[in-house]
Amino acid sequence: MTQFVLVALDNKPEGHLSLIELNELNDSFLVKAADELFISTPLDKIYSLDIDGLFLDAQKSVPDVPFEKTELYESIKLISGSASEIIFWYGSEYGDLDCVYDEDELLVRLQRSISDSFCEAYVHFKKPV
């Protein structure tokens, strides 16, 4: 299951999202990953998203419920509107992630991930400038 999601945001979107400012987590592993992954983004603009429940619920719901109706889809759709980058990975495997520059492609990859029994997404979304 996807274990980590880091999001670079100028402003946290409104809503009931489980976004936690990275500085509040006091997690040296995530800070190290953020330093390596977000080259020009200050740490106070990086958030962690509590993703476990979203992935698990989506995996259990699909195919009975369309992916577009899951909370995972709706949350990522909301976040991607204001995020410059979103990074998904498991364990320490964040060094060589596929980059996508299109929100729709990101959502397709997440849909594929929940269809897999491991339910792991390894992807780096970068909004085009």
Q: What is the pLDDT of residue 86?
A: 95
pLDDT digits (tens, 9 = 90+) for 66-111: 999 999 999 999 898 889 999 999 888 888 899 999 999 999 999 9
Q: What average pLDDT does the structure give for the chain?
A: 88
Domain range summary for the chain, segments of one domain joined by + = 4-116
Q: What is the pLDDT of residue 1?
A: 57
The DSSP annotation for 16-55 comes to S--EEEHHHH--HHHHHHHHHH-TTS-GGGEEEE--HHHH
